[in-house]
Structure 1
Amino acid sequence: MTQPDRRYDLPTIIFGVLFIAIMIVASFWVVQPFILGFAWAGMVVIATWPVLIKIQNLLWGRRSLAVLVMVVLLLLLFVLPIALLISSVVDNSAPMVAWVNEPGKIQIPDLEWLRSIPLVGDRVFNSYHLLVNTGGTALIAKVQPYFGQTATWFVTQAAHIGRFLVHCALMLLFSALLYARGEQVAMAIRHFAVRLGAARGDAAVVLGGQAIRAVALGVVVTALVQSVLGGIGLAVSGIPAATLLTVLMFVFCVAQLGPLLVLIPAIIWLYWSGETTWGTVLLVWSCVVGTLDNFLRPALIRMGADLPLILILSGVIGGLLAFGMIGLFIGPVVLAVSYRLLSAWVNQAPVPVTDAEEIEKELEQ
């Protein structure tokens, strides 16, 4: 009996592809609860791998002791502060939402101090009150419901503290495993990349690791330092709800908007309340914190990853909407890796000719 040519056996090909697709979908379904935790752990391990090696050298080359130290450091310096901040948001969210939604609570300030401005003070004060009397109250009444909805949305995102803590626990677990077997995991990933794309696949993995380290060190660490220092200034100056404002400042810093969006209103509030001394102290401290990223970020980014501002901003907002609080870390990393890989692929082609006459000659030929 003549056997069919298996090179062109269409049913075999179809069923083979279908079986592979089913296995991929089933595997993804099984590991789906662990994907975000593993991705977070991968980002943390890649960013802190040099620290692990240094600690291992200090601990007589014992990898187990170095892994234990790194897990404890992650727990004390990263997981616990974030968990405490989220818990503070949840604990203080109900009074804030109730206050925002209560009618008559948001009052237009009188701004009597405008009269003290030389030459134009009375005119500015009268113009301001004319605006308030003709439509300012109605404007506040229309905008107030949106304040409540916005606050409620942020509280809803922060209220997933249980899921967030689960991801933190998974991140610690996977980080310990990756720290212990980091070389083997990296070699397996590179081997798989070589199997897919030869040398270009291996280069793609290396570029992806550089992008992850650039985001983790240049963006997240800088934002964490700025927000912590800014929060200390808010607490020392006596600003109410300093913890909540610190969380908001961290979000703005990760989005590359800077801490001044929180610090400047706090300074204005202090001067407005008559606390000119603390307002001046916070003003000086804000100048230091606001310019810190200009020196800290270049020192942290060693691999020369130039990431556009719109990329980080889109990653933060999109990651927050897609994954919740953990998306603040996952979103920028995903876009940064994609951007680096796409840039490397585009740069493999020659630069286009800019002279219009040369382009016309090439088209004629």
Structure 2
Amino acid sequence: MSGNNDRKGPKEPRWLGPVAPSRVALIPPISAARWLLVLVAAAGIYFFHGFLVPVLAALVIGFASWPLYRELLRRTGGNTTIAASLAIIFILAFLIVPIGIAISYTIGEVRQWIIWAAEVNRFGAPPPAWITGLPWVGEWLGIQWVQHVGSPGAVGELIQIVSGANIGNIYRAIVAAGDGAFHLVLTLLFMLIALFFVYRDGGSFSEQIDLLGERILPTRWERISRVVPRTISSTVTGQTLIAIGEGIVLGIAYWIAGVPSPVTLGVLTGLMALIPGGAPLSFSLISFYLVANGAYFAGGGLFLWGTVELFIVDKTLRPRLVGGPIKLPFLPTFFGLVGGVSTMGFLGLFIGPVLMALLVSIWREWIREVKMAEVTEAETVEMPKGPATSPELPPDLPVVRKVSSP
């Protein structure tokens, strides 16, 4: 009896108070789950926003190279780990080889500049003809060259003056450059790690995204889920093809115009073509160099050729290649490129047009729904409003009347 009394006796109060299962919840369970999901997503974005750029870069590369990866996956017998590892090796080779060539070329150029500066500092050098031939400022620049560069020992004195007065700024610039290089290496490393898992688990993850998207947007998800990958793939492919084409076409124009090192300048122009305004800046500077050297016809012809080629590319090829199935017009394409570069750097070249393509797609979807609603309303208004008549029944069929419910 005492044992029963002990079991039925008063217990310790709960930490959050007594449980009342018969009471109605203040927040419905579905709303609570949604808000909890939003809070968890916000916390994840806050803590992992530093990895946003490498993850987006991995997604862009993964979407653009997915057809090639599927072929590689087929050749490896469906083993996703081996296929993803081979894809990462190929991408590393694709990145390291051009970067290594560029670094070796830069080191060679810097060495030549250092040798030239040492010879000028020892023996002096007259101002180049293209500097003195510049209109309006050529004579003044020639005098400045003789005073600060051309006379023996002038280069050494100039270096001592600049380094002595700005030693702190030089030190901070070196530290900032080292920090930027280290950050770039880390970003590249995280991008490759994320890209490996995009390749290996991309198929199953896309199925989960499709399942969730069909629950959120049941009528539009199929169209949106097909637009995004095709848009990213076409944007990356289109930008790359345009850059290669402009580099080749303008490189040939440099060779015809007699510009020194046309191959190198063509490669640099192709790289600059990835950036909005890079290609016109490149051929404008080279045209100005030709005019300054007295080759007025070659400089003017090169500038005219570059302007016509740029007009054709921006008005016809770029809107068709960039944006994929959306077929972005010129203005949204331009805004997507410039806005993407200004906010996300080099990666924005591909993210910006994709976002603009999604905005244009949503806008066109809304316009289509509005037009369909207007057509439906017009058809409803045009229907005759006479008294409703029951359809005539064949004479051999009996008329059945339904009894209305009370």
Task: Give the superposition deviation at 1:292.
Answer: 7.3
The SS at the match of 1:160 is helix
| Matched positions, count | 303
**Does the 8 Å CA contact 1:321/1:327 hold for their aligned counterparts?**
yes
Task: Give the superposition deviation at 1:218.
Answer: 1.7
1:285-364 aligned at under 5 Å gives the runs 304-350=325-371
For normalisation by structure 1, the TM-score amounts to 0.61
The 2-side partners of 1:347 and 1:301 are apart by 23
1:218 aligns with 2:218: no
The 2-side partners of 1:262 and 1:158 are apart by 28
Match of 2:39 among 16, 22, 33: 22
Match of 2:67 among 50, 62, 65: 50
Task: Give the superposition deviation at 1:286.
Answer: 6.0
The 2-side partners of 1:110 and 1:84 are apart by 35
Task: Give the superposition deviation at 1:174.
Answer: 1.9
For normalisation by structure 2, the TM-score amounts to 0.56
What do the CA deviations read for 1:161-201 (whole angstroms, capped 9, x no partner)?
A: 43333332222222222122221121111111112111312
Amino acid at match of 1:191: L
Amino acid at match of 1:35: L
1:23-102 aligned at under 5 Å gives the runs 23-59=40-76, 62-78=79-95, 81=98
What do the CA deviations read for 1:88-141 (whole angstroms, capped 9, x no partner)?
A: 99998xx9xxxxxxxxx9xx97768xxxxxxxxxxxxxxx86x999xxxxxxxx
Match in the other structure for 2:283: 263
**Does the 8 Å CA contact 1:311/1:335 hold for their aligned counterparts?**
yes
The 1-side partners of 2:89 and 2:21 are apart by 67
The 2-side partners of 1:293 and 1:77 are apart by 28
Match of 1:173 among 161, 182, 193: 193
User: Which stretch of the first structure deviates more once superposed, 278-287 or 34-43?
Assistant: 278-287
Match in the other structure for 1:184: 204
**Does the 8 Å CA contact 2:228/2:354 hold for their aligned counterparts?**
no
Match in the other structure for 1:196: 216
Task: Give the superposition deviation at 1:297.
Answer: 6.0
1:207 aligns with 2:224: no
> Taking every aligned residue pair, what percent have the same amino acid on both sides?
19
The 2-side partners of 1:17 and 1:287 are apart by 54
1:155-174 aligned at under 5 Å gives the runs 160-174=180-194
Larger helix fraction of residues: 1
The 2-side partners of 1:312 and 1:323 are apart by 16
The 2-side partners of 1:260 and 1:49 are apart by 33
Larger Rg: 2
Answer 1 or 2: higher relative contact order, Cα 8 Å, separation at least 6.
1
Task: Give the superposition deviation at 1:250.
Answer: 3.5
The 1-side partners of 2:65 and 2:328 are apart by 20
Amino acid at match of 1:197: L
Match of 2:260 among 220, 223, 238: 238
Task: Give the superposition deviation at 1:295.
Answer: 9.1
Unmatched 5+ stretches in structure 1: 96-104, 113-127, 134-155
The 1-side partners of 2:179 and 2:270 are apart by 18
**Does the 8 Å CA contact 1:223/1:250 hold for their aligned counterparts?**
yes
Amino acid at match of 2:202: G
**Does the 8 Å CA contact 2:326/2:357 hold for their aligned counterparts?**
no
TM-aligned CA distance change 1:237 to 1:352, over 3 Å: farther
Task: Give the superposition deviation at 1:306.
Answer: 0.5
Task: Give the superposition deviation at 1:74.
Answer: 2.1
The SS at the match of 1:5 is coil
What do the CA deviations read for 1:56-110 (whole angstroms, capped 9, x no partner)?
A: 3445555444433432332233466468769999998xx9xxxxxxxxx9xx977
The 1-side partners of 2:100 and 2:214 are apart by 39
**Does the 8 Å CA contact 2:315/2:330 hold for their aligned counterparts?**
no
The 1-side partners of 2:295 and 2:213 are apart by 60
Amino acid at match of 2:24: D
The 2-side partners of 1:87 and 1:311 are apart by 39
TM-aligned CA distance change 1:198 to 1:89, over 3 Å: farther
Task: Give the superposition deviation at 1:349.
Answer: 3.0
TM-aligned CA distance change 1:158 to 1:331, over 3 Å: farther
**Does the 8 Å CA contact 1:190/1:205 hold for their aligned counterparts?**
yes
The 2-side partners of 1:88 and 1:315 are apart by 33
**Does the 8 Å CA contact 1:215/1:336 hold for their aligned counterparts?**
no
Amino acid at match of 2:63: I
RMSD of Structure 2 on Structure 1 (CA): 5.2
The SS at the match of 1:316 is helix
**Does the 8 Å CA contact 1:219/1:254 hold for their aligned counterparts?**
no
The 1-side partners of 2:340 and 2:263 are apart by 26
**Does the 8 Å CA contact 1:207/1:341 hold for their aligned counterparts?**
no
**Does the 8 Å CA contact 1:227/1:253 hold for their aligned counterparts?**
no
Amino acid at match of 1:46: F
The SS at the match of 1:24 is helix
